[in-house]
Amino acid sequence: MDFDYFSYLFFGGLTRGSIYALIALGYTMVYGIIQLINFAHGEIYMIGAFTGLIIASVLTMMGLPSLAVIIIAAAAAIIYASAYGFTIEKIAYKPLRDANAPRLSALISAIGMSLFLQNYVLLAQTSDFLPFPSLIPDFEFWEPYSHIWTSAELVIFITTVIVMILLTFLIKFTKIGKAMRATSQDKTMASLLGINVNRVITFTFVVGSATAAIGGILIASHIGQINFYMGFIAGIKAFVAAVLGGIGSIPGAVIGALILGWTESFFTGYISSDYEDVFAFLFLVGILILRPSGILGKSETQKV
């Protein structure tokens, strides 16, 4: 077996997995708190990438240095994606929650939102693929390894790890993190203890959207092109990752994403790339049938 090819696939899978993990976090956090599959999450990732691209191109044309461009574009993408996450929650989910609508309604509303956002970007921007400037520079010291693990992929991996650490810190040690955990366990009890449940839910949407936006910029500058449809498949795959790891569990989402990234990478590398997406879907169907609670998820028993 060719070792270089193997490690190339291995690191490719790791990169894919990192991106899936960044998106899957948003899914799993929202699901953990309000048991809703936020279908529009993939679209937030797409909007993050678009905002990043637009701001970056404008700044580059103004002649700013590339480091400033990266920082401002990334910040803008994160802010805008969070703002979109916040607004979507207020428009499409909060009224339903207030009215105690069935879960099916919330899901339909989420699909509608996803369709709306996709076409909003399609109409306001373009249906073509837009080339994305590669914001991540090639490091010179990394030169000897770049044929198996490019420096862009390295940056993606490191960023993901940093985001994970920050997120873990946020949830484990801060007050709002504690409130999030309490809300996901029992909403009524949490509100009785003085937690503003609505604010916690909004905060969760904002944080999830921000991580998705980070994923969006990273993958866009790695692959080099974006279009309005990129959020859908990425969203579904991230969802597969979240379910695989056990939806609602944050370390589970990361593990699930890495497993999915690797299996996809090896599958396409050694077997066939035609059925790449089929494979992800089959994976999903398989997990849900064999182990619906995922790897790290707790199996729920229904109480009457």
Partner 1 sequence: MTATGEIKKSVLVSLWFMFLTFPIMVIRVNTVQDVVEWRWLNMAYIGIGTFFISMLWRYMIRRKEREGKKEKTDNLSFAQKIILDKKIFIPLVALTGLFIIVFPHMFSMYQTNIMISALIYVMLGLGLNIVIGLAGLLDLGYVAFFAVGAYSYALLNLHYGLVFWLALPLGGFLALIFGVILGYPVLRLRGDYLAIVTLGFGEIIRLVLENWNEFSFGPSGIPNIPKPPLFGVDLSLSGSIIYLYYIIVGLVIFTIFVINRLENSRIGRAWIALKDDEIACQAMGIDKARTKLRAFGLGAMWAGMAGVIFAAKTTFINPASFTIWESVIILCTVVLGGMGSITGVISGALLLILLPEYLRAFSEFRMIIFGAVLVLMMVFRPGGIINNVRKTYKFQKT
Contacting positions for partner 1 (CB under 8 A): 35-37, 47, 50-51, 53-55, 57-58, 61, 76, 80, 83-84, 87, 91-92, 95-96, 99, 101, 103-109, 111-121, 123-126, 130-131, 232, 236, 239, 243, 274-275, 277-278, 281-282, 284-285, 288-289, 292, 302, 304
CB within 8 A of 258, min separation 6: which ones? 13, 14, 17, 18, 21
Shortest reach from residue 171's CB to partner 1, in Å? 23
- Per the rule left: phi > 0, alpha: psi between -120 and 50, beta: everything else, 34 is alpha
122 Cβ contact partners less than 8 Å away, ≥ 6 residues apart: 228
Cβ closer to partner 1: 5 or 275?
A: 275
* Shortest spacing between CB 146 and partner 1, in angstroms: 26
Q: Give the Cα separation of 3 and 159 in Å (integer).
A: 26
Q: How far is the CB of 221 from partner 1 (least distance, A)?
A: 13
DSSP category for residue 270:
I
CB of 281 to partner 1, least distance (A): 4
Q: How far is the CB of 183 from partner 1 (least distance, A)?
A: 19
- Identify which of residues 121 and 219 has a Cβ nearer to partner 1 in the complex: 121
Q: Taking the complex as a whole, how short is the minimal distance between the CB of residue 225 and partner 1, in angstroms? A: 10
Nearer to partner 1, 169 or 275 (CB): 275
Taking a C-beta distance cutoff of 8 angstroms, is the pair 182, 190 a contact?
yes
Length of the chain: 304
Burial class (CB in 10 A: 0-12, 13-18, 19+), 152: buried
Query: Which residue's CB is nearer to partner 1, number 118 or number 159?
Result: 118
Question: Which residue do the tokens 């059925």 mark?
Answer: 275
CB of 170 to partner 1, least distance (A): 25
Nearest to 238 by CA among 219, 266, 221, 222: 219
Query: Which residues, 6 or more positions from 237, have their beta carbon under 8 angstroms from its beta carbon?
Result: 20, 23, 260, 280
Q: In the complex with partner 1, which residue's Cβ is closer, 54 or 170? A: 54
Residue among 1 and 104 whose Cβ is closer to partner 1: 104
Cβ atoms 215, 30 nearer than 8 A: no
Cα gap 130→218, rounded to integer Å: 15
Neighbouring C-beta atoms of residue 155, cutoff 10 Å: 19
Q: 174 or 272, CB closer to partner 1?
A: 272
Instruction: Pick between residue 92 and residue 218 the one whose CB is nearest to partner 1.
Output: 92
Q: Please report how close the Cβ of residue 278 comes to partner 1 at its closest, in angstroms.
A: 5
CB 157 within 8 A of CB 15: yes
Contact residues for 40 (Cβ-Cβ < 8 A; gap 6+): 88, 92, 110, 113, 114, 117
